[in-house]
Amino acid sequence: MTPSRSRSAARLATAAVALALVALPVYGQQPSNAVPAGCSAGNAAPGTRVLVFSRTKGFRHASIPDGIAAIRTLGATRGFLVEATEDPEQFRDENLKRFNAVVFMSTTGDVLDSAQQAAFERYIRAGGGYVGVHSATDTEYDWPWYGQLVGAYFKQHPRIQNARVDVRDRSFIATKCLPAVWNRQDEWYDFRAAPPADATILLTLDEKSYQGGTMGDFHPLSWYHRYDGGRAFYTELGHTSESYTDPVYLEHLLGGILWAATR
């Protein structure tokens, strides 16, 4: 091989190594749409039933049908039955007792009357589970018990944009399949106040990674706690329709449902 060909081959080899190094993932991170091999939130206990409630009396998210469809698919593949409704009359003692958990799928506004609220309180006190998705925090501002259950109330949000989500607790069922740093696009809520002290914070938002956040260095996005005899899980994520085809987000949502549905 001539010296010029030798130098060219060496340059090509060096370039190939450099490209390979660039392609390597950062340690501790996964692509935002990839679940680590072998990781799963698991399956539901036999006989688990979940009610998905999506009534809106304010802004209505276009992604609600996608969220309902995704939970139906999760139920079919992970072993739980799903019923979906926008009828507040379903919040009756005899009906609610059929379900292990109730998902408030991007509800908004005043969605239950006083009798229905009382039935839901009795359901939680009897050990029922609650899952709040995205604008579940933009719901029932005049019902203090609900505010404590969901953990926070919506204040405002900037435009939809990419941001960095930090996973604070990767031991919980809803976060064990998430990357330590989760870069994703969504609608990022500011809350009127932080969740209660008894809530375990799962995800926080890095306000330096996007424009418009006002909560400062501690900006919670997802949490869980035991409340008034039951279990409550909330995730702020899920504004976009694309969320409900993202395997990582779906494992996150599934984990919250499975934990809330545990009796």
Per-residue pLDDT of 154-210, as tens digits, reads: 999 999 999 999 999 999 999 999 999 999 999 999 999 999 999 999 999 999 999
CA distance 84 to 103: 9
Q: What is the pLDDT of residues 50-93, one digit of tens each?
A: 999 999 999 999 999 999 999 999 999 999 999 999 999 999 99
Residues 105 and 61: their CA atoms lie apart, in Å, by 10
Average pLDDT, the chain: 91
In this prediction, residue 140 carries a pLDDT of 98
Categorize the per-residue pLDDT at 31 as very low, low, confident or very high, splitting at 50, 70 and 90. Answer: very low
Smallest CA-to-CA distance from 104 within 43, 159, 44, 54 is with 54
Which of 255, 249, 260, 244 minimizes the C-alpha distance to 73? 244
**Residue 126 structure tokens:** 């009897």
Residue 77 is predicted with a pLDDT of: 98
Residue 6 has pLDDT above 80, yes or no: no
pTM: 0.88
Sorted by where each starts, the structural domains of the chain and their CATH numbers stand as 49-260 (3.40.50.880)
Bridge-based pairing state of the strands 220-227 and 101-105? unpaired
DSSP conformation class of 3: H
pLDDT beyond 70 at 15 = no
Q: What is the mean pLDDT of residues 21-48?
A: 69
- CB–CB of 154/138 below 8 Å? yes
Sequence-separated (6 or more) residues with CB below 8 Å from residue 133: 67, 103, 104, 105, 106, 234, 235, 238, 253
- pLDDT bracket for residue 20 (50, 70, 90): very low
